[in-house]
Amino acid sequence: MPRSPSPSPPAGQPSTASDAGDAVKAIYVFANEKGGMTDINRGKINEIIAQLSQSSAYTAKLLKSDRRVDETVALLQQKLQRSDEGARRSAAAVVARQVAALEASRRADRCCAVIDFDMFYAAVEIRDRPELADKPVAVGGIGMISTANYVARRWGVRSAMPGFIGQALCRQLVFVRPDFAKYTAVAEVARAIFREYDPKMTAGSLDEAYLDLTDHLHKRARDGGGGGAGDDSGDCDGGGEGERRGTALTGEALGELAGEVVGEIRARVKEATRGLTTSAGIGPNFLLAKIAADVRKPDGQFCTGWSREAVLSFLAPLPVRKVPGVGRVMEKARARKDGAASAVCELLSRAAEARLLFTPGSADSLLRKSLGWEEGGREEAAGEALQKGISCERTFRPTGDEAELGETLRRLCASLAEEMAARQLRGRTVTLKMKTSDFDLLTRDSSAARPVGAAEELQARAVMPLTVAD
DNA sequence: TACATACAC
DNA sequence: GATGGTGTATGTA
């Protein structure tokens, strides 16, 4: 006899903060946002997570790092206070000039798409074991969950969450071991389809692809395959500065055709992968396409539009964290005065501040992103970019035994050398990374005169940062 | 060049 | 009781 009616997520109270878990909650953002989360149980979920995390070394280290970020942010504030009127004015002037230049160069003749499988690993596993379909499923192990299906997400189980927490949140959670060979094969099926639309397509990861559809769309429009020859009704295209490609396919017309094409691609992928769904974002560049891919997840697509108005009204209200490249730290550094997270519009309105605080490169990048103009995605892969590094790391039980550490190091070097040989790679700088039991990360590196690759060479250069005390 | 951080998936 | 692995980019000394 099975358990009773289908179990449902806990219906807790709205977060009754109070206790020692408060600081921890501030760190753990698992129960924020994202599809599938019901609002009702958020408090309960946070409580369980806080409970389990409270006394762990990992949390201690997170809190410590968070305090350091706070200090840095405080320093930035001081720096801002102390900046003189002249510096502020010239920063504002620079920003104004940049904004004008960027706006003038906005183009409406390019179309990019980012296509992303929905809960990829879990979807593949469920496809192959249909009996899992309505059960909460996590791909990963007790150490780490890499993907959770939407049923599991209703309990607060998410990717990048340690498995034991997932299990505490949802006792019926079914764990499935990841099978990367299988995922790679599935990804290859999808990529073959993507390449028909963009031969230069690039992959962000196994489950994510960047396609520049511009050429395909023009070809399709020329060959009259479909797509009403756009009625560009006034408010659409932003930069109507002539047709570089000979077809009047810009702005909204481009978007409309792209919508059909992307729908077609997604249908083909679903068919070819026996039912796997994808979500997609469409826009004038990869940055916007990437952000847009999140909007209609799962199994949907969204187009940002091309005009300045369309782009900005899409971006403005988004939390800065949605912008690729803006993570926990930058979010905090750009948070509002009252501590609340900023939206992209504030990023833009306070761009002059950023220019005073950060390196010119970072400030530029932030400004461009808040205008929705480039960066954050693939962008011109410009010929097969060569790989910059290769690594092999493993987490093991803490030990102070040098012989044991030495043996671990030997094994790591051996696997790495094997992988490098298989891919015919060598490198000049060997970096040894070591994580202590309290999650401090240390690196030591050593550069050789010429590239190395053999296990012995790697090992000889991997000098252990010993004397770790305690 | 050496080391640390931030970020993405 | 317990929080991964691979790769890229960037800041600072």
Residues whose CB is less than 8 angstroms from the CB of residue A60 and which lie 6 or more positions away in sequence, other chains included: A438, A439
Catalytic site residue from A208, A241, A256, A457: A208
Residue A93: CB less than 7 A from any atom in strand C: no
Residue with CA nearest to B3's C1' atom: A443
d(Cα A230, Cα A108) in Å, to the nearest integer? 13
DSSP structure string for A156-189: T--TTB-HHHHHHH-TTPEEE---HHHHHHHHHH
Q: Measure A431 CA to C7 C1' (Å).
A: 14
Q: Compute CA distances A330 → A72, A290, A375, whole Å.
A: 11, 19, 16
On the question of pLDDT at A369 being above 70, the answer is yes
* Maximum pairwise Cα distance, chain A: 77
Overall pTM > 0.85: yes
A412-CA/C1-C1' distance, Å: 26
CATH H-level, domain A112-117+182-306: superfamily? Reverse transcriptase/Diguanylate cyclase domain (3.30.70.270)
Question: Is it the case that residue A469 has pLDDT exceeding 70?
Answer: no
Spanning CA of A58 to C1' of B3, the rounded length in angstroms is 22
Q: What is the pLDDT of residue A152?
A: 96
Is the distance between the Cβ of A390 and the closest atom of strand C smaller than 7 Å?
A: yes
pLDDT score of A164 more than 60: yes
Answer for A391: CB within 7 Å of strand C. yes
Alpha carbons A27 and A320: distance in angstroms, whole number:
17
Comparing CA positions, the residue from A301, A281, A249 lying closest to residue A372 is: A281
CA of A52: nearest nucleotide by C1' is C2
* Domain parsing of chain A, residue ranges: 112-117+182-306, 311-383, 402-467
Please report which helix (H) or strand (E) contains residue A312, including its range. helix A308-315
Q: Which amino acid is at A118?
A: D
A447 touches strand C (CB under 7 A): no
Window A39-78, strand C contacts by Cβ < 7 Å: 52-53, 55-59
Quote the tokens at residue A355: 């220019």
Tokens of A96: 């104004």
Q: Specify the DSSP class assigned to residue A149.
A: -
Per-residue model confidence (pLDDT) at position A133: 96
List pLDDT tens digits, range A207-226. Answer: 999 999 999 999 999 887 64
**Neighbouring-strand partners of residue A441:** A435
- pLDDT of A14 higher than 50: no
Rounded Cα distance between A270 and A276, Å, is: 5
Tell me if residue A252 is catalytic: no
pLDDT above 50: residue A78 = yes
Q: Assign residue A334 a region (left: φ > 0; alpha: ψ between -120 and 50; beta: otherwise).
A: alpha
The yes-or-no verdict on residue A358 having pLDDT over 60 is yes
Q: CA at A188, C1' at C12: how many angstroms apart?
A: 41
Q: Which one has a higher pLDDT value, A289 or A339?
A: A289
Q: What is the average pLDDT score of chain A?
A: 87
Determine the distance between A270 (CA) and C9 (C1') in angstroms.
34
Q: Smallest CA–C1' separation from A376: which nucleotide? A: B8
Virtual torsion, Cα A336, A338, A341, A344, nearest 10 deg: -30
At A291-342, the pLDDT tens digits run 999 999 999 999 999 999 999 999 999 999 999 999 999 999 999 989 899 9
The DSSP code sequence of A200-262 is: T-EEEETTEEEEE-HHHHHHHHHTT-S-------SS--S-----SSSS---HHHHHHHHHHHH
Residue at minimal CA–C1' distance from B9? Answer: A205
A331/C11 CA-to-C1' distance in Å:
18
Q: Which of A113-127, A361-375, A409-423 has the lowest mean pLDDT?
A: A361-375
Separation in Å: C13 C1' and A197 CA:
47
A366 within 8 A of A281, measured Cβ to Cβ: no
Question: In what helix (H) or strand (E) does residue A147 lie, and over which residues does it extend?
Answer: strand A145-148
Residue located via tokens 């481009």: A254
Quick check: do A112-117+182-306 and A402-467 share a fold? no
Nucleotide C9's nearest residue (CA vs C1') is A325
C-alpha to C-alpha distance for A15 and A182, rounded to whole angstroms: 40
- Residue A184 contacts strand C, CB under 7 A: no
Rounded Cα distance between A254 and A282, Å, is 10
Q: How far apart are CA A117 and CA A278, in angstroms?
A: 4
Note the residue count of chain A: 470
Nucleotide at minimal C1' distance from the A208 CA:
B9
- Please report the pLDDT score of residue A26 as a whole number: 54
The separation, in Å, between residue A443 CA and nucleotide B7 C1' comes to 18
Mean pLDDT of A350-365: 96
The CATH number of A311-383 is 1.10.150.810
In this complex, which residue's CA is closest to the C1' atom of nucleotide C8? Answer: A388
For residues A422 and A259, what is the distance between their CA atoms, to the nearest angstrom? 41
Distance CA A213, CA A215 (A): 6
Q: Which protein residues, judged by their CB atom, are less than 7 Å from any atom of strand B?
A: A 65, 68-69, 72, 160, 204-208, 290, 323-331, 428-429, 441-447
pLDDT at A232: 35
- Rounded CA gap, A357 and A330, in Å? 12
Query: C1' nearest to CA of A359: which nucleotide?
Result: C11
Question: Does A422 contact strand C, using a CB cutoff of 7 Å?
Answer: no
Residue A47: in which H helix or E strand, if any?
Answer: helix A42-53
Alpha-carbon distance A279 to A295, whole Å?
Answer: 9
Task: With cut-offs at 50, 70 and 90, classify the pLDDT of residue A245.
Answer: very low
Whether the beta carbon of A36 falls within 7 A of nucleic chain C: the reply is no
Beta carbons of A122 and A186 less than 8 angstroms apart: no
Question: Which residues are registered as beta bridge partners of A161?
Answer: A145
Nucleotides of B under 7 A from a protein CB: 1-9
Distance A247 CA to B6 C1' (A): 42
For the stretch A391-438, pLDDT in tens is 999 999 999 999 999 999 999 999 999 999 999 999 999 999 999 999
Report the share of chain A in percent with pLDDT over 70.
83
The angle subtended at Cα A433 by Cα A429 and Cα A435, nearest 5°, is 175
| Domain A402-467 in this protein, CATH class | alpha beta
pLDDT average, residue stretch A109-124 = 97
H/E stretch holding A114 reads: strand A112-117
**pLDDT tier for residue A464 given thresholds of 50, 70 and 90:** confident
In angstroms, rounded to a whole number, what is the distance separating the alpha carbons of residues A283 and A129? 36
